[in-house]
Amino acid sequence: MSAEQSSFHVPPLNPFGGKTLIVDAERPDCFTLPSEALAQAQEDDQIFIRPGVYEDRLVMTERTIHLIGAGRDQVTIFNRRSGPCYLQRVSGGNISGVTFRYVGSDQHSALNILDSVCTISHCRATEGLLSGIVIYGPDCRPTLLGNEISHNRESGIFSFAGAQPYLRENACFGNHHFGIAARDEGTRPDMIKNICRENMLSGILLFHLAKALILDNTCAENAHWGIVLTPDCETTPKLEDLHQSNNLEINPRGAYTLTTEPLADIGR
């Protein structure tokens, strides 16, 4: 085993004072599946997932979570029957270094976040039959940092039902609809330095009374517009200044558009 390969197998120190539970399907002294470690983890414990492909489903409700994968190119959690990761009222913690992949045929996302406050960083969410990551609920305020959200059947990241996530430096590309979308009164994502490219509709969509901070994002090489908004939405900065605060070039229909029918192209 090379030094680089060895580093993928060594867990980081636990800064919370608890144990480190190691997931490794090849080692009998480790947990076979991430969900098995999750069931045993206490509040101050962290879970470290060594390289591998795990058919599993993580369900985290009303707890904190500290889950670290060896890297999103090293660790994949997939599921055929449901989304591989579901968070409900998670009150803190972090998930990093994991690819979440949905490979079934029903309407599921790769990562589902309801009314949770935690950090998701340097993960990948892919192949959801809905959006790759759905974020919803009036108490939902997660931070998404440096993730890759790609090749989902709807949008990359979809916030709705009053969610207020902080979205920074995520790459949303190759999704069938939009890179990042937000809907509903009370929904207010902060979108900073994200890259939305090569999506089959537009880079960013805001509709049905959503508000958003949109700053220093790059929306380029999408099939339609850089940003699409409905007239009832509000942005900071204002609509007419978005092209100065973001890179919205190289979209065939233009930098942005205001429309009452943002989903007409998909028959909705």
CATH number at residue 250: 2.160.20.10
Task: Output the pLDDT for position 267.
Answer: 81
Domain extent for 109? 48-266
Count up the domains in the chain and report the number: 1
Instruction: For residue 20, give Cα distances in angstroms to 26, 37, 172, 199.
Output: 17, 10, 32, 39
CA distance 120 to 144: 5
Provide the token pair at 50: 């060594």
pTM: 0.96
Joined tokens for residue 19: 């144990």
- 17 domain residue, yes or no: no
Does a structural domain hold residue 26? no
Q: What amino acid occupies position 248?
A: L
The number of C-alpha atoms within 13 Å of 98 and in the hemisphere containing its C-beta is 29
Residue 4's pLDDT is what? 54
100, part of any domain = yes
Transcribe 83-151 into DSSP letters.
Answer: -SEEEES--EEEEES-EEEE-SSSS--SEEEES---EEES-EEE--SS-SEEEESTT---EEES-EEES
77: in domain: yes
Residue showing tokens 């480790």: 30
Beta carbons of 146 and 122 less than 8 angstroms apart:
yes
- Whole-angstrom distance, CA of residue 268 vs CA of residue 264: 6
Q: Is there a domain that residue 167 lies in? A: yes
Using the Cα atoms of residue 236, residue 240, residue 241 and residue 244 in order, give the sign of their dihedral. Answer: positive
SS3 state of residue 242: helix
- Reading the chain (268 residues) residue by residue, the pLDDT tens digits are 555 556 788 999 999 999 999 999 999 999 999 999 999 999 999 999 999 999 999 999 999 999 999 999 999 999 999 999 999 999 999 999 999 999 999 999 999 999 999 999 999 999 999 999 999 999 999 999 999 999 999 999 999 999 999 999 999 999 999 999 999 999 999 999 999 999 999 999 999 999 999 999 999 999 999 999 999 999 999 999 999 999 999 999 999 999 999 999 888 8
Other Cβ atoms less than 10 A from the Cβ of 9: the count is 15
Structure-token match 């960083």, residue found: 121
Q: Which residues contact 6 (CB under 8 A, 6 or more apart)?
A: none
* CA angle (59, 163, 121) in 5-degree steps: 55
Does residue 259 lie in a domain region? yes
Residue 21: inside a domain: no
Q: Is residue 37 part of a domain?
A: no
CA 78, distance to chain mean position in Å, is 15
